[in-house]
Amino acid sequence: MLSGGGGRHRVRGLDAIPDPAAAYADSLTDTDLADLETGKALDAVALRHLYRARYATFDALLEDWDVTLADASRMRRGWPLAARLLPDVPKLSRSHVDALLPVVKGYSVDAAVTLHAMLREALPKVTAKDITAVVRELPGLSEDDDPAGAIRHQAEKILTEPDEGNEDQGGGGGEPDDTALRQAVRQRTRQMADELKRGRMSHQELTRTLAAAFADTDDPRVYQALKRWIKAREGKGQ
């Protein structure tokens, strides 16, 4: 990856690395892959102290190459994760890699791979926004936690429990924040996932699907069924 000639050593293709703020493509482009390749090269340079022939420190090399420490860290953390994900996700989005970097930093590469696999199983289509939303809710590791095992448990809880912040907070029995109702919803969601021969279904997906079915004017079956259910429930309460 290092090419000589002239006065300075440079990573091949470094000038072609896109601005980190540039818009993402749907999947990794040749330029994105070169970016990850550069990250691997920078990692080797840093870990094996290959900069010593020309520079006193790694930071001095980055300054000469006009690469910020933040960008170098992003690329160095990103390439092992992308290398692990690409065999299973050929159309891997670079935005997915970046969204998972906090997991790599706070947990491990294995944990980030595990989380992405869980999201692919739970959601019809994984987006960077979905990843970021789950990552934001992760509580972090305890001292004796196994990173991959911990994130599996933590993410499972996030994906299957209702979002309390979006629930009706009114009082009275049978409200959406009722513990028994929440447990029943989780059990029913798992049952539906099993019958659909899927690994799992998140509460967010269930909510979106129900809302879409309820609003569908071309197919009013869910609307009519819910109306009948409400009338029957109100009749029992009288």
* pLDDT tens track for 63-91: 888 888 888 888 888 888 988 998 898 88
Position 96 scores a pLDDT of 93
In this predicted structure, what is the pLDDT of residue 237?
61
Whether the full predicted model's pTM is greater than 0.95, yes or no, is no
Count of C-beta atoms within a 10 Å radius of residue 39: 25
Neighbours of 56 (CB within 10 A): 9
- Give the residue-averaged pLDDT of 163-176: 44
Average pLDDT over residues 200-217: 82
Q: Which range scores top for mean pLDDT: 58-62, 174-178, 233-237?
A: 58-62
Q: Is 142 strand, coil or helix?
A: coil
* CA 232/CA 211 separation, integer angstroms: 21
Mean pLDDT calculated for residue range 145-164:
79
The Cα–Cα gap between 45 and 51 comes to 6
Taking every pair of Cα atoms in the chain, the longest distance, rounded to a whole number of angstroms, is 90
Coil, strand or helix at 135: helix
pLDDT in tens, 217-230: 999 999 999 999 89
- In this prediction, residue 71 carries a pLDDT of 83
CA distance 58 to 69: 10
Q: Give the pLDDT score at 32.
A: 63
**Boundaries of every domain in the chain:** 1-92, 94-160
Q: Which of 9, 15, 80 is nearest to 50 (CA)?
A: 9
